[in-house]
A and B are shown apart, each in its own frame.
Chain A
């Protein structure tokens, strides 16, 4: 008979092993799934690997995809730390992108020294505001932030579609739903001739700042306290509502920043399909990284690679959705691995019969 027992201390080994185990198990299950669907798993994974990490171009593209994922994940991880479920990075990204585009389109002749900081500020503020639309009702009446942030995701996408179909439509765009292209000054500089852009510096800086803030400040301590127990935090005189607002706003600002970097550095205009679900991948990345900023950078790199690799194998007929499936499966296996860190499964005989 199997019994499940709680471990006295969390297994230290599993702290590091569980994300790796989750990724590997998901890949193995994915391989079975591919096999069943008639693909050669090794060829597919090989193709993904070569596409994402095999050459300088693949690597640079992987980093390009990792930037928005990392920014979104860093932001939502702050909220996750206090058991606040900001699922709205996707919408906050779109809000930030739209606001940044508004600045770029409003000041076509302005120099980069003005327009780039203004776009950054606008993107971050819009993302934060979009998040506050969910945070305020949460702090005020306790309205479930999972549902409100999700609803706001759909709303933000429709809002940006409205803008590119309507008021911001490019008159020279042959009726395509696109905004006019930004001026050169509104484009974030890239490194060398890659597409890797200054957003990488934003992500690294955000990770560093959050690491310090979470470990060394009163705010970080209070965040942990609220996450551990809202009742205890209240008892200790820590205002929960304020922390809800701040944590959501920080997440929104970073997701908004991701939106700004996408329109400014990658597309150069507001258009359809800005994000292939960066905000959703970020949720998985945040958990697999155990909410640690450094871990998020690493996991975002891996997930960027998954996306790029996924595009690479579309040529041999593997649907891009295979990557989404893999990502979801990783989260499941991470959960299961975490369970093994907290509990042990033991094989036990029945307790001896009482005579």
Chain B
């Protein structure tokens, strides 16, 4: 029998503190779409990074077409016909599409003529169902278009094995369908396509075979035709999978805490990121923002936290107007903010745990007198927080950069909730954390709700939104297209809205009407 196109055996890869792959294996056949399924942290991406030459395994071997190979570098992987589309695209933002596609290649030898290269790349991409303007700069493209550029880049280099790491996470449903079309087409041409995901529905739709990973190794490889979502879920979790359920919340929501009215704001590149966004959250309530990444989530969070100017509209927190008031006044008004970019915005990585814990409270009378910090009080303050939030750290003087992701996030949450804020804006609070840390962080957010805070939860993970929210608002291109109570929410309708489909049915109870619709008079509130 012909050997498989790719065979990985007994791959082990350890990082300081974590064994990501521990005897993992995988076989790929030419002409198949092969799903690599597993929970976050199961070792899927690490295994594929080994195949793509980014990591060198500590043990194990890789065979291509039956021959053992050593993949020392991404360049070597490309030469072997392996291309990978990473979750974080490896594209130079200031370069054109054509420049990115040709970067690092041996051709052209020395002088290149942009025009002719652009034309041939444009034609090449069109022929493969991946239309993209070769002259456009990457930073002008949508996330979906950037992904297309990544695929074109891999194919232009002659990839016969294409690895895609969670490609659908950033796409609208329509773009997902187009992507699946491209994947099927590549498989039909005899290429092997690896599709990393943790979504069962996508596996059932597109894959030919599925390898399920758990705890850094293969749990099983099955034919799609011979399996079921329930079996896959069991393999993935190791036991019965519980469907996401709403967290039914008994308490009555209190008065309105956050009132955002007709917000308009620009993104980093001057594009209109928020377009007349309106929402409100009450005390003791978690509002989840559902939406595909890049539809204004970051700008919304930053506007509320006082870190981004709004060009129109108003923001009130607990009755205080904080529109364009700056971060200090937002903090004073009772806004706690857990930013998406923890170590870049939320925590000073080089400073100690204690110094990070007092960052929002040091100005207060409890920790300072006049211009002086009260050393004893600050130590006591941070020791108490570290204890209460179970922050595992060698000492309070340890720099935050040497904590694990989960513990760093605990530092952030401890600080942001310590002063009993009226409103907590939490952006992707559990992204990249292990199961225990995720559970802990979610418990902290629920605890805050019980204590009467309003919580704005932004997450790319619909399961997380369902698990925590009382109400769900769908954000699309800077507008709220609809708001639903979590209990009995129509997932299909939410999915459609996330893709920009404006449903025309009557609004449900509790639905805030998006301003765009109000303007057009298509919808009326009761």
Contact = CB atoms under 8 A, between A and B. Distances in A.
Q: Would A and B touch once assembled, by the CB under 8 A criterion?
A: yes
B373 A221 contact: yes
B372 interface: yes
Given A216-B373, A354-B60, A221 B327 contact: no
A237 B327 contact: yes
A228 B371 contact: no
B206 to A, nearest CB: 32
A31 to B, nearest CB: 37
Nearest to A354: B61
Interface in B444-472: none
B348 interface: yes
Contacts of A8: 402
Given A216-B373, A218-B362, A235 B345 contact: yes
Nearest to A353: B70
B403 interface: no
B167 interface: no
Contacts of B347: 232
A229 B373 contact: no
A217 interface: yes
Number of chain B interface residues as a range: 35 or more
Contacts, number: 75
B5 to A, nearest CB: 19
Interface in B335-364: 337, 339, 344-351, 355, 358-360, 362-363
A235 B307 CA distance: 7
A217 B374 CA distance: 9
Contact of B337 (A9, A229, A233, A235): A235
Interface residues of A, number: 24
A236 B326 CA distance: 10
A238 B331 CA distance: 11
Given A217-B371, A224-B351, A225-B359, A232 B346 contact: yes
B375 interface: yes
B346 A234 contact: no
Residue with the greatest number of chain B CB neighbours at <10 A, chosen from A216, A233, A237, A353: A237
Nearest to B394: A9
A351 interface: yes
Contacts of B330: 237
Given A218-B372, A236-B327, A237-B327, A354 B70 contact: yes
A221 B344 contact: no
A231 interface: yes
B12 to A, nearest CB: 11
Interface string A230-262: 011111111100000000000000000000000
A217 B327 contact: no
B82 interface: no
Nearest to A217: B371
A217 B360 CA distance: 15
B371 A235 contact: no
A355 interface: yes
B68 interface: yes
A355 B339 contact: no
Nearest to A222: B362
B346 A235 contact: yes
B56 A351 contact: yes
Interface in A29-56: none
Residue with the greatest number of chain B CB neighbours at <10 A, chosen from A8, A216, A354: A354
Given A221-B355, A355-B68, A229 B372 contact: no
B373 A228 contact: no
Contacts of B355: 221, 224-225
A162 interface: no
A237 B361 CA distance: 11
Nearest to B363: A218
Contacts of A354: 57, 60-62, 68, 70
Interface string B168-208: 00000000000000000000000000000000000000000
A221 B355 CA distance: 8
Interface of A: 8-9, 216-219, 221, 224-225, 228-229, 231-239, 351, 353-355
24 contacts: A216-B375, A217-B372, A217-B373, A218-B363, A218-B373, A219-B371, A221-B355, A221-B362, A225-B351, A225-B355, A225-B359, A228-B350, A229-B348, A229-B349, A232-B347, A235-B307, A235-B337, A236-B327, A237-B330, A237-B331, A237-B360, A354-B60, A355-B61, A355-B68
Interface of B: 56-57, 60-62, 68, 70, 305-307, 326-331, 337, 339, 344-351, 355, 358-360, 362-363, 368, 371-373, 375, 402
Top 9 A-B residue pairs of the complex, sorted by shortest distance between their CB atoms: A237-B328, A228-B348, A237-B327, A232-B348, A236-B359, A217-B371, A237-B331, A228-B350, A354-B61
Given A221-B373, A232-B359, A234-B307, 10 more contacts: A216-B375, A218-B362, A221-B355, A221-B362, A225-B355, A229-B344, A229-B348, A235-B305, A235-B346, A353-B70
